[in-house]
Structure 1
C-alpha cells in the first residue's frame, strides 16, 4: 500500500506543477539593509514560474534576445559586432590612404 500512496502524491504534485506552469506564479520581495535610516543595500527579488508558452503570451521573452541563451540572439549579436569591426577597419584604411 505505501507504493500506491506515493504514486498518488506524485500525481498530485504533477497536477500542481502543471497548473502553476499553465497559469504562472509570481513571487516578489525586497531585502533592505539599513543602519540609522541609511540604506546600505537593497536587493529586489522577482521570481516568475510559468511555461514558455504562458510567458510569451504575457509578453515576456527576454531569453530570445540573450546571446547566452539563444542561438538566434548570439548570431544577431555576432553580426552586429562584425559590422562594428568592419566599420573600424574601413576608418583605419581611409586614414592610412
Structure 2
C-alpha cells in the first residue's frame, strides 16, 4: 500500500526541470525549424488510385520568413493588410464595371 503524497508536492514521476527542458526543446525547434514529410499511396492491382503528399513545417514566424514562407500575409482571413488589399481590388473592379455599364447606357 502506498502512502498518499502531501498536496503541493510534485509527482515522483515528474522531474523538476521537465517544463524547462520542454521549453528549451520547443525554442530550438522553432529557431531552427523542422520539416516532416510523407507520402500516402493507395494502389489496387498496380493501379494508383490515390496519392496524398504531406509536408509539415514547424518554425517560428521569423524563421519561416527567412525560408521564404509567408502565405499568411496574403491570406485575407489571417491578415488585415491582405483583407484591405482584397477590398480595394474588389472596389476598383466594381467601379470599372459600373463605368462600363454607364458607358453602354449613355
Tell me the distance in 1 between the aligned counterparts of 2:85 and 2:101: 25
The root-mean-square deviation of aligned C-alpha atoms, in Å, is: 1.6
Match of 2:31 among 22, 26, 30: 22
What corresponds to 1:95 in structure 2? 104
TM-score by length of 1: 0.91
What corresponds to 2:54 in structure 1? 45
1:83 aligns with 2:85: no
TM-score by length of 2: 0.83
1:61 aligns with 2:70: yes
What corresponds to 1:31 in structure 2? 40
How many residue pairs match? The answer is 97
Segments of 5+ residues of structure 1 without an aligned counterpart are none
Whose Rg is larger? Answer: 2
Q: CA deviation at 1:7?
A: 3.2
Tell me the distance in 2 between the aligned counterparts of 1:91 and 1:34: 53
Q: CA deviation at 1:9?
A: 1.1
Segments of 5+ residues of structure 2 without an aligned counterpart are 1-8
- Greater CA deviation, 43-52 or 5-14? 5-14
Tell me the distance in 2 between the aligned counterparts of 1:76 and 1:37: 48
- After TM superposition, what 4+ stretches of structure 1 lie above 6 angstroms from structure 2? none
